[in-house]
Structure 1
C-alpha cells in the first residue's frame, strides 16, 4: 500500500453509487495513506462526495476493527478522491468496510429526484432553465430562469404542486445512461442541469425519468418517482423579472 498522500485527490476510484444508489455498506481496499495517517484513498466507494447541489454523504469506515468517521472529502484530478478521517488510522490492514448514514442519503435521494421532476416540468412547460440548486437539512431550493418570450404571467404554487404530485404518483422509473457530451447537442437532449456541467467533462451521465424528462446529473436518485412521496412549496420568490427562487420540503 502506498503511504504517500496525493494532494490532487488520490488515484481514480470506482464510484459504485453511480450504478446503485441503494448500496448502504460496501467492502473496499485502501490504496493510499497520508503521512499523518488521517487521509486515505480507496479503490471503490459508495460515498457520494457532494456536488451539483447535493451534500456529501455522512459515512464511516471500519478499519482494523475500529470505526472511523469521514470528516472531509477532497476531489482531485482524474477522478481521484481522498477521505479525511476523524483520527489517524492504526495498523496497516488494506481492507476496509464503508457504511453510510442511510436516512441522510435517502432523504437526499428523494430531494434530488424531486428537483429533477420540478425542473423538468418547468422546462417542458416554460423552457425555463435551472441556474443553481441546493439541498439543505429540511428543504431544497432551485433558482430558475425563464425565457424572455415565455415568462408566466401567473405562477400558482398550488396548481404546480398538483401537477408535479401527479407525476410523482405516476411512479415513473428513474434510470441512468452515459453518453458523449456532443450527443447532447446533436440529439437536442439538453435539459435544465446540463448547462451547469463544466465544459471539460466529455462523458455525461443522463438521468431519465420515464419518458417525461432527461437531465445530465452525477447525483443519487430514487428508483422511481413514487418514492419521492408528498412535498410542499415553502417559498416562491422573484429574483428579478426572469428569475424565481423556489423552496420545497418533502413530507
Structure 2
C-alpha cells in the first residue's frame, strides 16, 4: 500500500491539491493530509475548500490513484482545492494513540508478552485496548494508570521510521497484534513507531512527538470479554 501523507508530514494539516476525478458528492485527490482511519484510530475530520465554498469531508475511500473524499453534500468540484484537517481532532487522536502505545508497552513488558486483540480510540477522549490475558489479576491492570502517568512525566521522545518487513518480522515484539498487522508499504517496508527507551512496534497511525504532551490518565474500567480477553478502558484524569 502507498504511504499516507500524514505519516511523512504529520504537522501539515492543509495542502493544495489538483482534482484527479470527481462525481457528485465525492472528489478524488492524489494527495491528502487526512489520516483515513485504521488500527483503531478514527479518520481525521476536516473540509475541502474550492471556488464554490467549503464543504466537510465525511470519510475517505481508497482508490489505486489516491483517495476519494466523500463530501457532506452532492456538490461537484473541479479545479484545484485546499484540503484542511481539523487540528483539535487530529491532536486528540495523536494523544490517544500515543497513550494506547504506552499502555500496550507496559502490558507487553509486565504481563509476559501479552498480545493485543483489539483497540479503539473514541471521539469522547477515551480509548480501550483488549489483550490476550487469561487469569490476569484485575487489580494489577487497574493500577496501570500509575506507570502510564510516570511515562508521561518522563517526556520520552517519539519518532517513526521504516524498516524492511523481513527484518521487522525477525525482531521480537515489533508486531503486537494476535491476528492482524500493518500492511507492508509498496517498497516492502513497514513503519515503526518508537517511544525512546520504552517501546518499538509496527504502526501506521499518528502520534505525539513526545509522551509529555499527553494529559494524565486514569483507568476507567477493566472487563472480562470472553475466557481470555481482558479489556482496559482509559480516560483523562481531569
Matched residue of 1:196: which SS? Answer: coil
Q: CA deviation at 1:203?
A: 2.6
Paired position in structure 2 for 1:216: 202
Paired position in structure 1 for 2:221: 235
Equivalent positions of 1:128-207 (< 5 A) are: 128-138=114-124, 139-146=126-133, 151-153=135-137, 155-157=139-141, 159-193=143-177, 195-197=179-181, 202-207=188-193
Q: Which runs of 5+ in 1 are unaligned?
A: 1-11
Matched residue of 2:40: which SS? Answer: coil
Q: Distance in 2 between matches of 1:108 and 1:26?
A: 20
Matched residue of 2:143: which SS? Answer: helix
Q: CA deviation at 1:238?
A: 1.8
**Per-residue CA shift, 1:137-180, capped at 9, x if unaligned?**
2211111113x7xx544533453111111111111111111122
Q: CA deviation at 1:123?
A: 0.5
- Higher deviation after alignment, 183-192 or 211-220: 183-192
Paired position in structure 2 for 1:101: 86
2:7 to 15, 18, 33: 18
Q: Distance in 2 between matches of 1:132 and 1:56?
A: 17
Alignment partner of 1:119 is 2:83: no
Q: CA deviation at 1:231?
A: 0.8
1:55 to 26, 35, 42: 42
Paired position in structure 2 for 1:6: none
Q: CA deviation at 1:189?
A: 4.3
Q: CA deviation at 1:14?
A: 6.2
Structure 1 contact 194–217 (Cα < 8 Å) conserved: no
Structure 2 contact 56–72 (Cα < 8 Å) conserved: yes
Paired position in structure 1 for 2:25: 38
